[in-house]
Structure formats: C-alpha cells, structure tokens
Amino acid sequence: MSAQQTIQWFESPEEQRCARWRSESDTPPPKRVVVADDGMNADTAFRLACEGTSLLWRGDFHNARQLLQAMARRVDRKAPQPGTSPSHTFHLHRQAQSKRARILGMLLLPFDAGHVIPLRRAPDVRLACEQAYGPSDESYVMSLRELQGVIGAGEWRKKGLHLPALAGSITPHYGVFSPVRGEYVELVAEAPLLPRGTAFDIGTGTGVLAAVMAQRGVQRVVATDQDPRALACARENVARLGLADIVDVQQADLFPAGRASLIVCNPPWLPGRARTSLEHAVYDPDSRMLRGFIDGLTAHLEPDGEGWLILSDLAEHLGLRSRSELLEQFDKAGLRVVDRLDVRPNHPRAHDPADPLHTARKAEVTSLWRLAAGPGSR
C-alpha cells in the first residue's frame, strides 16, 4: 500500500473528509465515493458499483456483509460463455474474475486507529489486521472483500493447516499462498531421496517443502523467497516445527549462493500477470520463475545432484504452454529427466461441472520432474 494514497469523500454536502487508502492489490483510491447505509438496496449498490462509484459503509456491519453477498449474486448471473478454445475460455474467465473483483471491491469500510471498525455489530479484527499489516495509529479505508481475506488468514493462523505429509502443522500468513492442495506436498514426501547433505527450496512460501525435506533427513536446507511476508511465515513455521537449526530461510531471487545436491522448486503453474499478492503464487508472468529455475539449475547442482520441479499441466490443457515447450527448455538447459511422479488433484473444482475451466481441471495432473544435468532419455 502506498503511504501517499488517500481517499476523499463527502460525509455530508458541507463536510469533506479524507483518510489513508489501503489496498493489497495496489488498486488506486476510488475517484467517486458516496456514503451508504442500511437504507441502500442491493440493486442500487450494484448499479453504482458497476458505474465505478464506491460505497463507504456507515450502517450495520452484518448488513454490509449481506449486501456484498447480494451484489455477488448479481455479478455471477452474468457468467461468460465458453470461448472458442481452451485458452480463449481461460482469458474470458480471468476477465470475468477481474470484473467481479472490481465490482465487489467497491464496498468500503472505515477503520479508526488501531484497526477498529466504527460500525454497529462490527467484529473485533484488531489482531488479524495487525498480523497482516502491522500496528496502525491512524484511520484508513479499505474494501470489505479485503477485510474478509484478512479475517480468513487470521483464522488459519489460529488453527493451523495440517498436512498428512508433514509431521506437524503450518500457519499460512496473510498474502502467503496456503498449500491447501496437499498433493504436491505428498509428491515431495514420497519421491526417492538418496542421502542428501544440502538442499535448496526455491520460492519457499510457507516453508512447507523445506520442512518436509528436513523431516526426511536432509542435513541442511536453504529456503529462499523474495516476499518479506513469506520469509517471516517460513521462519515462524520452521521454528515451530523445531527445524530452525536445519532450515535456513534466506531472501534471494531464486537460488542462494553455492551448490546443493537437491534443489526443489514449486513455481506458479500458470503463465500470466498476477493482479494481487496471492496471485503471484498462481501466475508466473512470461514464465519467469519457471525459466529461471530451469536455466539456472545445472549451475547450482552438485555432481550427481537432482532438481525437483513440481508443476501442474493445467497450463497445457488451457493452451497456455505445451509439453514440447517444457521439454525443449530442459534440453536447452542441459537437463535430462530421470523420472516423473504424477498425482491427480482432488480439490472440489476438479469435480465441479459448473466451473468454466472444468474440462481442463478434470484432466489436470501434477508432476514432480526429477531432473539431472546431462543429456538423456525422457
């Protein structure tokens, strides 16, 4: 969030106010803002939001939540038709999701200093907001949708996330991708692991893969990331699991200094532009991270070492990347495929015919590619 951005509105025809604008997705402050309360109906709110007018809520908090749900139902009535190809369908889906986020993001909440919501029946969100943003000594405004994400992240930190492949639980932080799809974690837990001295976990996120490798007996793991939230999250998780003496979390763009006998990377699975911090774990602009890992792997592997690339083939089913392109990248980087372990996802959307990407999701396979330096068979 930019420290210089503010939002302005008229509380009454004679009284103009302003406050700090907070947006995790770096959405600029709205230019048109009207004060709304319990007297505004969903049709009016939806029309104003579609026209680009934001609604600063002054009514009952629970009514604001119900209004947001009603607006969402109106957005979802206009679901896009399938495109002429899988890639066209995907792009239409992304456009629809972006439009949905923009419209629903128009419902705004005021916050007083200390992350206090000055509305009737408002929940106490001070802890969740402080965990996400740090202390706040001034008033600000942000969308109700963003607050819902903050509250959800706060709940994850309370209860933790247990994964069968991990002896213990992790707590995802706000803005850090949660490994709720645990099948790729299971691949790392089950892949053949020779005695390993040092391993790298590239783009560690919550630190879950680094923790799995440490629990499997790797003597030293260097886990890297660029996002300060991910670094703090990973350090907290490995410390809670009693692995801080084994896992060293470092800020780095892809590889740390030195070489390792095992290098693991779970890059974003879809090429495309990320619009929010969480989307950076899903979308990889121009496949930058994927290409960077493949191209830099041989220079950081010990002799006879392996690189484990964890990648879904969803992009292939959506027409965004072909299997031949991936294999050509391996060849150009001087890599050979030692083996490939596959697993099918079991998340709800893979079994939901109403999902616009259902055909691709139903066919999706997540793979752990075991790569080594040198030419060889695939």
What pLDDT shows up at residue 274?
75
Residue 359 exposed, middle or buried by CB count within 10 Å (0-12, 13-18, 19+):
middle
Q: Are 366 and 187 a contacting pair, CB within 8 Å?
A: yes
Q: In what order do the strands lie in the sheet with 335-343?
A: 247-251, 220-225, 198-202, 260-265, 301-312, 366-373, 335-343
Q: How many residues does the chain have?
A: 378
**Mean pLDDT score of the chain:** 91
Instruction: Give the pLDDT score at 278.
Output: 65
Q: How far is residue 245's CA from residue 210's CA, in Å, rounded to a whole number?
A: 12
Kind and range of the H or E element at 202? strand 198-202
Mean pLDDT of all residues in 241-263:
96
What's residue 292's pLDDT? 96
What integer is the mean pLDDT of 20-41? Answer: 93
Range scoring the smallest mean pLDDT among 49-58, 136-145, 175-184: 175-184
217 contacts 167 by C-beta, under 8 angstroms: no
Which of 68-77, 315-324, 348-357 bottoms out in mean pLDDT, i.e. has the lowest? 348-357
DSSP state of 353: T
Has residue 279 got a pLDDT over 80?
no
Q: Are 354 and 80 in contact (CB under 8 A)?
A: no
pLDDT at position 352 is 72
Please determine, for residue 350, whether its predicted confidence score (pLDDT) is greater than 80. no
Q: Which of 268, 337, 271 is nearest to 308 (CA)?
A: 337
**Among the residues of the chain, which ranges form H helices?**
42-50, 61-76, 86-104, 126-133, 144-159, 183-190, 208-215, 228-240, 288-300, 314-317, 323-332, 358-363
The token duo for 87 is 């890639």
- Residue 378 is predicted with a pLDDT of 40
Lowest mean pLDDT among 54-58, 126-130, 195-199, 355-359: 355-359
| pTM listed for this prediction | 0.89
Instruction: Quote the percentage of the chain above a pLDDT of 90.
Output: 70
What are the structural domains of the chain?
6-155 (no CATH), 160-373 (3.40.50.150)
Interval 19-30 mean pLDDT: 90
Q: What's the CA gap between 50 and 65, in Å, rounded?
A: 18
Rounded to an integer, the average pLDDT of 137-151 is: 96
Determine the pLDDT at residue 346.
76
Rounded-to-integer distance, Cα 113 and Cα 136, Å? 6
Contact between 178 and 161 (Cβ < 8 Å) = yes
Flag whether pLDDT at 146 surpasses 50.
yes
- d(Cα 298, Cα 49) in Å, to the nearest integer? 51
Average pLDDT over residues 366-371: 96
Q: What is the DSSP letter of 132?
A: H
Distances (CA, A) of 189 to 40, 165, 211, 215, 254: 53, 6, 10, 9, 22
Q: Using CA atoms, how far apart are residues 135 and 114, in angstroms rounded to an integer?
A: 7
